[in-house]
Amino acid sequence: MRIGQGFDVHAFQDGGSLVLGGVKIPYARSMAAHSDGDVLLHALCDALLGAATLGDIGRHFPDSDPAWAGIDSRELLRQVVSKVQANGFRVSNADLVLVAQAPRLAPHIEAMCEHISADLQVNRGRVNVKATTTEHLGFTGREEGIAAFAVVLLDE
């Protein structure tokens, strides 16, 4: 078994579409990023790559490469899962945390879990997503951006 952890953060920008866990969230701001800015899936990709000792998301999908500009992070996740599987691993489970003062994320968590479990090729019971605030402390508390943490377990 292999354990991996991931972390990502993006700042807010005005306009655009806020996408978290592959779900469009109604909100006036989006993430400033080279791709669609899905911090949750980026943290998950890093956790998967780390557990399989394959580096990190920036190594595989550099923001200096125009090919990845605006890409749907679910596509990145599916490519990472393929790389992990090609190295002899399969996902056992994933536990993810979104840290955001706003918007309210609880109504969207089940849809995020459905998208993630489909992309990880595991049943829904192997994916957990949680959302929390920082009680108005730090950059997330000031509503400047969103952070995400991910932990995964891979089986050989």
Question: What's residue 63's pLDDT?
Answer: 86
pLDDT, tens digit, 9 for 90 and up, residues 54-77 = 999 999 998 888 888 888 999 999
**Do residues 100 and 139 lie in contact, with contact meaning Cβ atoms separated by under 8 Å?**
no
Domain count, the chain: 1
Question: What's residue 8's pLDDT?
Answer: 97
pTM of the model: 0.96
Confidence band of 110 (pLDDT split at 50, 70, 90) = very high
Chain-centre distance for alpha carbon 155: 20
Q: How far apart are CA 116 and CA 126, in angstroms?
A: 10
DSSP line for 46-96 = HHHHHHTT---HHHHS-TT-GGGTT--HHHHHHHHHHHHHHTT-EEEEEEE
- The CATH number that applies at residue 145 is 3.30.1330.50
Query: Which residue range is the domain that position 151 belongs to?
Result: 2-155
